[in-house]
Amino acid sequence: MKKTAKSTQDIKAIKAALKLDGTIFTLKGQTTRERNEAGEYVSVPQRYKTSMHLMAVGEPTPVHSIGQDHWLSSNMNVSKFGSTKMSLYSFTPFGKRFSETIFYSDITIVSVQEQPTESEPVTQHTDSQPVKTA
């Protein structure tokens, strides 16, 4: 099997998409089991989703994290978006920090969530839910 390399433009597009909130992607070699239409369990690529929040300590700073694409997943924080890879970290229940590295060349973007435009600003509501204002 011949390995195809991703171009520099592809790597830049993947890196830019991962910095957006709600991007769904798969990783090479990561699979899970799901039922198909016939009710049989089959192996499918594991889907991951990005999230981005603003940490408001002083000047607002974006905080990025990545987790599995389902409601009961735990996320890993992104410590660095490098030129060819990104570094992730999290903590065990006992407080020990552990790290992982993901190469952009191993990522396939499934979908990118549309982001609010300049004409649709998002403001923070009193119950911490984003609300679009006109």
Q: How confident is the model over 20-62, as pLDDT tens digits?
A: 999 999 999 999 999 999 999 999 999 999 998 888 777 788 8
Please check whether residue 65 lies inside any domain of the structure: yes
Decide if 120 is inside a domain: yes
Determine, yes or no, domain membership for 119. yes
**Residue 2 within any structural domain of the chain:** no
In a domain, 41, yes or no: yes
99 occurs within a structural domain: yes
User: Which regions of 56-117 does DSSP assign to beta strands (E)?
Assistant: 61-68, 75-81, 85-91, 97-103, 107-111
Predicted TM-score of the model (pTM): 0.74
- In the chain, how many domains are there? 1
pLDDT 10s digits, 63-116: 899 998 877 778 899 999 999 999 999 998 999 999 999 999 999 999 998 766
Q: Is residue 3 part of a domain?
A: no
Q: Which residues, 6 or more positions from 7, have their beta carbon under 8 angstroms from its beta carbon?
A: none
User: Bridge partners of 81?
Assistant: 86
CA neighbours closer than 13 Å in the CB half-sphere of residue 15: 18
The whole-angstrom separation of Cα 95 and Cα 43 is 33
Q: pLDDT tens digits for 102-129? A: 999 999 999 998 766 555 554 444 444 4
**66: containing domain:** 8-132
Domain-embedded: residue 87: yes
